[in-house]
Amino acid sequence: MIRTLAIGFGLLEAVFPRQLIDASERLAFDTPETGRLQPWTVPMARLEGLLFVWLLVRKGGGLGALRAPLGVFGVAMALMPRAVVAFALEIAYENPDDLEPKSWVVPATRLLGAIYVAAGVFAGRGATPEDESRTAQPPDQ
C-alpha cells in the first residue's frame, strides 16, 4: 500500500512537476509570485520523480532501496532544518533572499526529517507475501 502511494507520488512529480512546485510555493511562501526558479529546477524535479519510481519498481527494489537516502536526508532535515531550507532555496531559486518561508516551514522540515529517518530505519523491514514467495525454498522430499 505504502509502496503504491510512493510510486503514485513519484509519477505525479515526474508528470506534473511545475504544478507541484506552484502548489508548494503557494503553501510555503507569503509571496510566492516573487520566486524565480532556476532553469534546472523543473527538469530536476521531473528527474527526481522518475528516479524515485525507478528505485521502487526495479527488480529487488522497493522501499528498502530508499533506506540510505531517506536516512541521510532525514538526519540533516531533523537536526538542521533552517540550513536545509536555506540550501534548498539556494539551489532551486535565482532569488532565494527575496523569499520568506512561512513560520511553519522550518518545524515541518524538522518533522519530515524525523519521518524520513524512521522510514529509512524501518523501510523494507517487513516481508511481503511477494518477498516470501521469491525467497521460499522448495520443501525437502
Would residue 134 count as lying in a domain? Answer: no
Provide the whole-model pTM: 0.76
Name which of 41, 116, 29 is nearest 77 in CA terms.
116
Q: How many domains does the chain have?
A: 1
Q: What is the pLDDT of residues 79-137, one digit of tens each?
A: 999 999 999 999 999 999 999 999 999 999 999 999 989 887 876 565 555 554 555 55
Grid cell listed for 9? 507520488
CB 106 within 8 A of CB 82: yes
Q: Rounded to whole angstroms, how far apart are CA atoms 17 and 41?
A: 9
Would residue 96 count as lying in a domain? Answer: yes
Would residue 23 count as lying in a domain? Answer: yes
Domain range holding 24? 2-125
Would residue 138 count as lying in a domain? Answer: no
* CA separation, residue 82 to residues 26, 41, 91, 120 (Å): 19, 20, 14, 21
